Each structure stands twice: as structure tokens, then as C-alpha cells.
Structure 1
Amino acid sequence: MALKVGVIGTGMIGQDHIRRLTQVLSGVEVAGVTDIDLARAKSAAPAGATVYETPEALITAPEVQAVVICSWGPAHEAQLLACIAAGKPVFCEKPMVTSEAAALKVIEAEVAFGRRLVQVGFMRRFDADYRRLKRVIDGGTLGAPLMYYSKHRNASVPEGLYTSEMPLNDTLVHDADISRWLLSDEVSAVEVRVPRRSTRGRDLRDPVMVMLHMASEAIVDVEISVNIGYGYDIRGEVSCENGIAALPNRPAAVVTDANGIRQAIPEDWRERFIEAYDQEFREWIVAAGAGTATGPSAWDGYAATLVADAALRAVDSGAREPVTMIDKPALYN
């Protein structure tokens, strides 16, 4: 039996996930969709799917067994809590929520339920290159990790839809999560430095440099440039006691001809992480079919939210801002 899924939010990423769930993956069926723009929901709905007027109607519908949340961040808290109350596994695109208080509510609800239901859409953990890099780090042959360099570069971002806060409260969460996961460590403090602004960035605070101080005393150096111009460029390199390990540039093919040696650059996140998105949903479908969740948890969403909050404080204060976490519930161990 195929897992019957309801999708909340039919914007760019919601439509891409609907395509993935209907055209790429097996064992799943999109049974319902909803969006604040019902006309857009109707246009995005695959054949046979019900268009619900509200997220609440979709979540409580008997035919919907699991939910995919692709709505805007401030709506996530209420939708996640409704999914947990209904006992339905839920895949939630990042950011999980937009405040520490909201993250704690989600954690408390899930712990009270007694079983993991929430998976957060940190797709980098499902990328084959990142998984190979983690195996190298965990294998121990290079010794303890000392520094990790994370580069997050977008060709451009939509004017008017992307604000100066978003590199730190929207984009940074990916780098924070992958750093925590690769290093098996938590962030204890955050610093932010703002260099000369890019003329491509209009009025944005861009680029920014973020330093994540880890509990182990390793340091993560994050560069976020959202108007780099040439393409979507994601890089990572870990420096350890006995050597370094780095992600390959993607796509990996290198062309040599009369014009020189060159390598293509992905246009955007869909091209760079298409296989990672597919894999995260393969694993989620299996887990959701068993009534649970896998991969990045509500705890991971909470941790990323705290890092973003600390980064926003740090850009204003110019100081090293601490990250203080609650004791980790046993559910997430």
C-alpha cells in the first residue's frame, strides 16, 4: 500500500516535492494539497488529489497518513503541533520554526506523544558527498576535527523577498546543521563579521562570515554569499589533526579543450541537491509508513534555531554570543 501524503504549501519547493513524490519515488501517493492561494493549490494538485481549504482540514483528513510542510516559516509551529496531535508523521522544510519558544513547544509535544514524528528538511545529510565526508571523520584516521570550512554561495536571491536577516535566520541553518552532524558536536557560541558589501547585494547585508564555536572547541568558519553571480556553489572542508578532507565540486566532470580547463556550476539548490532531496524522501517514506520519523529531528531544528538567534544577536552586538540549550530529551538520543 502506498503512503498517502498531504502537502501544505505549493510554492516553488512544494511543487518540486510534489513532482518528486508523483514522478520519481515509489511507495507514496499525494492524496491532498493546500495553500494560502487555493488557485495555486488547485493548479499544483496531481490527478486524484483533494484540494483542502486549510492546513487543519488536510492534517485531520482520514485519508492523509503523513504530511509534508512547505509553507512559510512562521506557519510551521501550528502545523507541526497539529500533526503531532493527530499522530501523523510530518516532513517539515526548514526552518522548522522561527523562534526558540516555538521549537520548545514542538519538542515538548513530541516528547509527550512518546515517539518521533517530525523530520526536518536538512537535505545535506542525505547527499552522498557529505555522507562520505562524515564516514571519513567518524573513521578517525585523520584524528580529531579541528576546523571546518563551510561555504554557501548563491548566484542571486529574489529582490524584495530576501532580507538582510535571512542569511542568518534562513540560510545559516543549513550550515549550522551540517556542521553539528559532521562533527557530532553542538554549537556553544556564535560570532558574525560583516565585510565590505557586495554591489550585487543592493541593500542586503551580504556577504557575511560566521564563526561557530563548538562544544569540543573545534571552530566552524561559514561564508554566506547570496549574490555571488556565477552560480550555486556549496563547499566544505574539514581540517583534522592528521590531514584534511573536502567535498568535491559538483558536478564533478572537468572539461579540457582549446578554451582551457573548466567545470560547470549548478544554477541553484535544485540542481546541486536533487539526489539528496530524492534520498531524504525515500528514507522518510519508509519511516512514515511505520508511523515514525528518521533523519534530522525536532532537536536538530531546535539547535539550528538557537544558532540563528545567536547569529542575529552577534551581528548587532559584535560580540561572541552564547548558545544555551536545554538538556536533550531521551527521545532524541
Structure 2
Amino acid sequence: MSPALRVGVVGVGIMGADHAERLARRTARAELVAVADPDEVRAKELASRHDGVWSTGDALELITSDEVDAVVLASPGFVHEEQVLACLAAGKPVLCEKPLTMDSESSLRVVRAEREATERFGRSLVQVGFMRRFDPEYARLRAVLTDGSLGRTLLLHNVHRNASVPNADFRSEMIVRDSLVHEVDVARFLFGEEVVAIQVLSPAPTSLAAEGVIDPQVAIFTMAGGGIVTNEVFVNSQVGYEVRCEAVAERGSVVIGRPSSGAYSTSLGTSGAGQWGGSVPADYRERFATAYDLEVQAWVDSVHAGTSVGPTAWDGYAATAVSTAGMASLASGERVTVDLVDPSTLAGPTTQTHHASSTKEPS
């Protein structure tokens, strides 16, 4: 049995703190050893909850430390490129929360750097945190769609709702880049092909959104094989965290994420909690708790095995490229073609969309 993987967490907001707890309490063959955040008081407070964990205000100090074997990045997307590149330079496996970076160009730089690092260190080092691939319902849905029993997949319909956003700084563009990006990866995961075009529609916004914010949004993806994906993202729904997906194939359909059979409606109960006759999850940590646990455990196991599992740097780049096109469509209202480089022009191993076997809010 190999020693426990010594993991450092960068970013100690809601997601980073959740990952720290997961690594410290629920992940086999892993040990939380360090946390980093520019808010040193918050980092120190988190570290104090766990024996032997040290803290720093400098992410690069954690990444380059000889006491850290691997890194979880739960920091804001605008610092991901620098931090992922630092992990690659140090030869350290990294689980990077979405988005990989803020735009296509920087994500492509990460892809190229990771391919060079793969040749140097003999294994892929980047896994991107699209945890829905590890969710049992999504994994089952993909298995049904790929076993051939329903024929070719024709349509996907995605719903992604948050009760609210943490502050007025969560603008329309962030709904595309930080929330819709999950649906981008879901579409690629379930169809097994790239998104080639996107159109973002702007319905009349809810009165509860910040001034100038377009919420909800409806996005339409066109897949490489001609399939269509419709997506509703509504980050101020007030009710709770609702994520569901319906796949329509030639000989049937499959729905996941619905808490009951038949028709149902959501509303605010007398307690102020979202309800449908049961309860609506409060946030992404509750809805995808199992998916996060499976994701992090699979990552730790893959590091021990010297293999890779889950979404790759290419998957992160492809999702960011769609989001970049989506932000252009948000501004114009027009259908925008997704600009992806030809993977055959990149050095290193052949690019494949990897599938899982079974503080950035909202998610």
C-alpha cells in the first residue's frame, strides 16, 4: 500500500472548504496537508480545523512545496492559468475546478503545456472538475445512451437552477462562463462529440436579478453530428438547486434529476424553503455530494496508479471555447460558431474526450 497522497487545496471559499473536508474525512489514501488563500485569516481558520494542516496566503508556495504531492484548485477562474501552469512545471497532478481558464486562448496554452508535461513526466497531470460525469444518474444515462438500445441520441434538454447568487457581481457573462459550462460538458459527455455552435437567448429577466443581469438565459447548442441541446440556466430561481436532464433518442427517452414521477411543480413553502411536495436541494453541494466524493476519490486513485480519469485539459479547453462563443452570442443574440483547434495539430498524445466510469458559486 502506497503512502497517503499529500494534497493541498488552493482557494478556501465554499467549494474549497468542502473539498478540504472531503479530503480530510472521506477520501481514502489521501491526506490534507495544506491550504492557501489570499485571505490568510480564512485560510488559517480552515487549517486549524484539521490536525497537521498548514496555511499560506501564497498559492505558489503551496504548489511548489516539497510537502505537497498533488493540488486541488478551487480558486477563482482568473488565476487558474498561472496556478495550473505552476502545477505542470512542478510535475504535480492537479484537480482544477471549472472553468479551466477564462477564455479559449489561455485554456489552449494550458493544453499545450500539459502535453509537454505529459512527455516529460510520463502521465497526464490535469483533471478538470466537471463532477457530473461522476454522478451516478449521469453515468447511468450515458450508459443507456451508448448501449444502442435507444438508437441514436437526437436531443438533450437541460435545466440548471440556483436559488440565488452570492452577490451582485455575478453578471450575465458569468452565467455563461461559470454555470452554463456544466451543460457544455454534459452535452459533450452524453453525445461523445463536440459542440460546434451556440446561440444564447435573453428572455425577460426576473425582477430579482441585479440591474442589467440577464437571468434566466436559454442556450441552444448544435452538436457535431447534428443533435440539438436546449439549456435553461436560471441563477435566481428562489426555490433551490434544480439540475435535471432529458435525453431524447430514436426509440425512447430518459430523464434524470427529477425527484418524483409524473407532473410536479416547485414553490416556496411556509418555511421559506423550496418544495415540490418534498424538498429541493439548497445548493450544488447537496445535489451532487456523491458526485464530488466519487470525483475526488477517482482522482486520488488515478494519481496513485499513475493514470488519468475524468475530464482532461482538452475537455476544459473545449468547454471554455464554447463558453467564449456563448458570451459573443449573449452580446449579439446570434448563433455563433465554436472555434476549436484541430487536435491533430497539437503535439503529444491523441486527444480524446475521457468519460468517468461511474470559491466559485453558483456551480
Normalised by the size of structure 2, how large is the TM-score?
A: 0.87
After superposing the two structures, state which structure 1 stretch, 319-328 or 85-94, moved more.
319-328
Alpha-carbon deviations, 1:281-301, whole Å to 9, x = none?
A: 110001122344320110011
- 1:271 is aligned to 286
Change (3 A) 1:308 1:133: same
Change (3 A) 1:78 1:291: farther
- 1:52 is aligned to 56
Q: Given that residues 111 and 313 in structure 2 are in contact (C-alpha distance below 8 angstroms), is that contact kept between their aligned partners in structure 1?
A: yes
1:18 partner amino acid:
A
1:105 and 1:180 map into 2 onto residues whose CA distance is 21
* Residue 335 of structure 2 is aligned to residue 326 of structure 1: no
| Superposed CA RMSD | 1.6
1:291 and 1:32 map into 2 onto residues whose CA distance is 22
Change (3 A) 1:81 1:156: same
SS in 2 for 1:104: helix
* Residue 229 of structure 2 is aligned to residue 220 of structure 1: yes
Once the two structures are TM-superposed, the CA of residue 251 in structure 1 deviates from its matched residue by 8.3
SS in 2 for 1:200: coil
After superposing the two structures, state which structure 1 stretch, 156-165 or 77-86, moved more.
156-165
Once the two structures are TM-superposed, the CA of residue 50 in structure 1 deviates from its matched residue by 1.9
2:44 and 2:293 map into 1 onto residues whose CA distance is 24
Alpha-carbon deviations, 1:90-149, whole Å to 9, x = none?
A: 001111100111111111111112231001111100000000100010011111111100
SS in 2 for 1:39: helix
1:105 and 1:131 map into 2 onto residues whose CA distance is 30
Normalised by the size of structure 1, how large is the TM-score?
A: 0.94
* Residue 168 of structure 2 is aligned to residue 160 of structure 1: yes
After superposing the two structures, state which structure 1 stretch, 73-82 or 41-50, moved more.
41-50
SS in 2 for 1:217: coil
Once the two structures are TM-superposed, the CA of residue 159 in structure 1 deviates from its matched residue by 2.4
94, 101, 104: which one aligns with 2:98:
94
2:279 partner amino acid:
A
2:351 partner amino acid:
Y
Q: Given that residues 158 and 245 in structure 2 are in contact (C-alpha distance below 8 angstroms), is that contact kept between their aligned partners in structure 1?
A: yes
Q: Given that residues 63 and 87 in structure 2 are in contact (C-alpha distance below 8 angstroms), is that contact kept between their aligned partners in structure 1?
A: yes
SS in 2 for 1:201: coil
* Residue 311 of structure 2 is aligned to residue 296 of structure 1: yes
Gaps in structure 1 of 5+ consecutive residues: 253-260
- 1:13 is aligned to 15
Q: Given that residues 162 and 237 in structure 2 are in contact (C-alpha distance below 8 angstroms), is that contact kept between their aligned partners in structure 1?
A: yes
- 1:61 is aligned to 65
- 2:189 is aligned to 181
1:271 and 1:236 map into 2 onto residues whose CA distance is 17
Change (3 A) 1:135 1:246: same
Q: Given that residues 93 and 120 in structure 1 are in contact (C-alpha distance below 8 angstroms), is that contact kept between their aligned partners in structure 2?
A: yes
SS in 2 for 1:80: helix
Residues 134-283 of structure 1: pairs in structure 2 closer than 5 A: 134-203=142-211, 204-250=213-259, 262-283=277-298
Extract structure 1 runs of 4+ deviating beyond 4 A: none
Once the two structures are TM-superposed, the CA of residue 85 in structure 1 deviates from its matched residue by 0.7
1:100 partner amino acid:
S
1:248 and 1:3 map into 2 onto residues whose CA distance is 33
Once the two structures are TM-superposed, the CA of residue 315 in structure 1 deviates from its matched residue by 1.5
1:212 and 1:307 map into 2 onto residues whose CA distance is 9
- 1:25 is aligned to 27
2:184 and 2:43 map into 1 onto residues whose CA distance is 32
1:72 partner amino acid:
P
Q: Given that residues 89 and 292 in structure 1 are in contact (C-alpha distance below 8 angstroms), is that contact kept between their aligned partners in structure 2?
A: no
1:321 and 1:56 map into 2 onto residues whose CA distance is 37
1:161 and 1:123 map into 2 onto residues whose CA distance is 25
Q: Given that residues 34 and 54 in structure 2 are in contact (C-alpha distance below 8 angstroms), is that contact kept between their aligned partners in structure 1?
A: yes
2:111 partner amino acid:
I
